[in-house]
Amino acid sequence: MLLTHIQRTLWLRNVLERVPFRENSYYRHKYCPEVEAAINKQIQAEQEAALKYLNMAVSFLHPSVSRLGAGGFFMKMYHEEFQHSEEFIHYQLSRGGVPLINGLKIQTPNIKITMIEAFKQALDLEHNVTELIQDLIGIAEKAKDYHCVDFVTSIFMTDQMDSINKISHHVTEIARLCDEYGLWNYDQHLATTYPYNHKSLKKL
């Protein structure tokens, strides 16, 4: 584990030394290293969130669990977060920064997770990502990088508030359910809004 970390650090240093970027390079217009680092932190947070959602999705889509509605919901969240990470990668490139991509860690599906636990975890995740975005806005404001402030505020803050609101409704509604029938019914309701359309499931 330690060796992997050292190797990763050395590789990163090597890459950064080879890439001819500096704060005042001709392709960087007042793009300060603090903002660049905060964007990279955000890229990694979005990728981590995407993978956590993917892990939740596969947990619910496993045939021993078969909550296809919850699986479809988390699969959609996975795509959304992955798209966010791509947006930040594109932004980093557009400012002449160097996007740093996360290493993948193996995650084991948790087929024992309940619907309420999963949605509460999703809510925590969204609150954490939102705080990170607020930190990023603060760093960009301090650097007087208004282009970055505008990019992050206009696109991502609205998305975050929508996600927190949407997941909060699910937490409230699922918490009211008291039996297996209620959960099954709610999952069916999720499945109509967030269908998981893999071709093998369409035949069921």
Q: List interacting residues with Fe ion (CB under 5 A).
A: 46, 81, 84
| Residue 119 CB-density burial (10 A; 0-12 exposed, 13-18 middle, 19+ buried) | buried
The closest alpha carbon to 29, from 150, 144, 137, belongs to 144
Closest contact distance (angstroms) between CB of 190 and Fe ion is 20
Q: Helix 68-94 to helix 180-193 angle, to the nearest 10 degrees?
A: 40
Closest contact distance (angstroms) between CB of 49 and Fe ion is 6
Nearest CB to Fe ion, comparing residues 149 and 183: 149
Sign of the Cα torsion 58, 60, 66, 70 reads negative
Nearest CB to Fe ion, comparing residues 14 and 158: 158
Closest contact distance (angstroms) between CB of 79 and Fe ion is 11
Rounded to whole angstroms, what are the CA distances from 107 to 40, 56, 103, 114, 182?
22, 10, 12, 17, 30
Nearest CB to Fe ion, comparing residues 81 and 187: 81
Nearest CB to Fe ion, comparing residues 68 and 136: 136
Nearest CB to Fe ion, comparing residues 36 and 81: 81
Give the residue carrying structure tokens 């301090």: 142
Closest contact distance (angstroms) between CB of 178 and Fe ion is 32
| Residue 39 CB-density burial (10 A; 0-12 exposed, 13-18 middle, 19+ buried) | buried
The closest alpha carbon to 190, from 75, 64, 58, 112, belongs to 75
